[in-house]
Structure 1
Amino acid sequence: MANKTIRTLVFILAFSIAGYAIVQYGILQASNAGLVSFKLQKPDFALKPWIYVLYTHIFTAIFALIIGPFQLFIKPTLARRSWHRRLGYGYVVSITVSGIVNVYLSLFATGGWISSFGFMSLDVLWVSTTLIAVRKIIAKDIQAHKIWMLRSYALTFSAVTLRILLAPLAILLGDFEAAFRVVAWACWIPNLLVIEFVIARMRLRQRQ
């Protein structure tokens, strides 16, 4: 029952954040988004080409965010295996592209080098865990593939935790830049700690 509730919550949060991003950046003006409007207040900030790189990062990350739960929580039966493989390709390509372009965005992260280092670390781990998962499935190590994909999606889910934490942190600290320095790390480190706990429990059950 608890597992079903958690999975449902992951679906709801992933699709909610994806829907928000699509509306904010795909339908409304990007300049009205909190991060973009904050950057536009700085006279030395050049919106282009930064905004185009941001669009690339957002929409590839969204694709990975909404694909992930289907890949992790719906068992790839024989009938679904081809779709699982196709969606898996899409997930890996999306993360690879998003991770690469996010290196550029990290260099201009709000909050200076602390934020840049946090997001850069996230990018490296995000792409690395995903590619390790690919290597494991090529080697036909299904269990290891699943474990590394759990780590990969925990990092993908940082898109959700960032947006959950940013506003409360900004209010608590009274400074958007200070909040961004914190959230650059807080959006993904707790996710990894939680998923490592889940993985440890999975391994313990397998030994019993």
Structure 2
Amino acid sequence: MFRTARHIVLYMGMAFTMLIALHSLRYLFDGAEAVSALSETDALLEYLSGRQSTFWYSFSISQKPLYHLNEFAVVGHISAASIALLAGILQLTPFIRQNAPLLHRASGYLYAFTAILGLGLGAYISFSLPMIGGTKTIISNVIGGALGIGFVVVSFIYISKKQYLKHAQWMLRSYAVLMAILTVYLLVAVFALMGLDAERGYGLAHMICFPINLILVELFIRKSSSSGILVLTHSQ
């Protein structure tokens, strides 16, 4: 039962992540102007809640000039994080881990580089842009970025020691931190549907997105490790 549920959640999550990551890569082509596309989310929120929503329109209008002033960092953050999400899918796919070791290794290096770059730039722009939600949003982003980068480093320390299970566990933890990029926007939508004002909902979403993801991945690791699911079956 757990195995079936795990596979359903895993592949549905992969598909959703891939769609969001590919959509976010528009920043590579449109630059800071791509932030305008966020306003399209208001139509979905309005449909789900039955109330007029202008949060993402207001967000895009207020952030666009700031995004232009810090365009290199913003585009680098979003693009690198999106590529890391896609590379992470290759890392998480059991078939690739077991049957394509070279692809697994290459995607691992790509993931490590882009995840560190994306998380690092994310922490940087938290300071350079006035963040909705205030200080708690900035602190959350900085802590999350530091944790994610630290988890990647720890995972590579373990793979250098050929401790494959520990390596897989820490890579999962780093990916959970990276996935907070998606979780925060889902939480903002939930809080908007609950009627919270935009700034409070945005700040609260940033405060709890990392704990939620890390708790979920820790539960997954504990359950999976006991059955040996995460042990890589090929030599690195």
| Same-fold status (TM-score > 0.5) | yes
How high is the TM-score relative to the length of structure 2? 0.77
The alpha carbon displacement at 1:87 in A equals 0.9
Query: Of 77, 86, 108, which residue of structure 1 is paired with 2:106?
Result: 86
Aligned match of 2:59 in 38, 45, 49? 38
Q: Percent identity?
A: 22
Matched position secondary structure for 1:140: coil
Unaligned runs of 5+ in 2: 40-55, 229-236
TM-score (norm 1): 0.87
Tell me the C-alpha RMSD between the 2 structures: 2.5
CA contact (8 A) 2:26 2:34 kept: no
Cα 1:26–1:178 change in 2 (3 A) is: farther
1:1-208 → structure 2 map (5 Å cutoff): 1-23=4-26, 26=29, 29-32=33-36, 33-34=38-39, 37-38=58-59, 40-41=61-62, 46-75=66-95, 76-77=97-98, 80-107=100-127, 108=129, 109-205=131-227
Q: CA deviation at 1:147?
A: 0.7
Q: What's the offset of the Cα at 1:27? A: 5.0
Decide whether the 8 Å contact of 1:31 with 1:37 is kept in 2.
Answer: no
CA deviation digits over 1:121-142, x for unaligned, max 9?
Answer: 1101111111110111011110
Q: String of CA shifts for 1:106-161, please: whole Å, max 9, x gaps.
A: 21322110100111111011111111101110111101001101111111211221
Match of 2:50 in 1: none
Return 5+ residue gaps in structure 1 as ranges. Answer: none
Aligned residues between the structures: 204
Structure 1 stretches of 4+ with a deviation exceeding 4 A read: 34-37
Hey, what's the Cα distance between the residues in 2 that align with 1:64 and 1:81?
18
- State whether residues 170 and 176 of structure 1, in contact with CA within 8 Å, keep that contact through their aligned partners in structure 2: yes
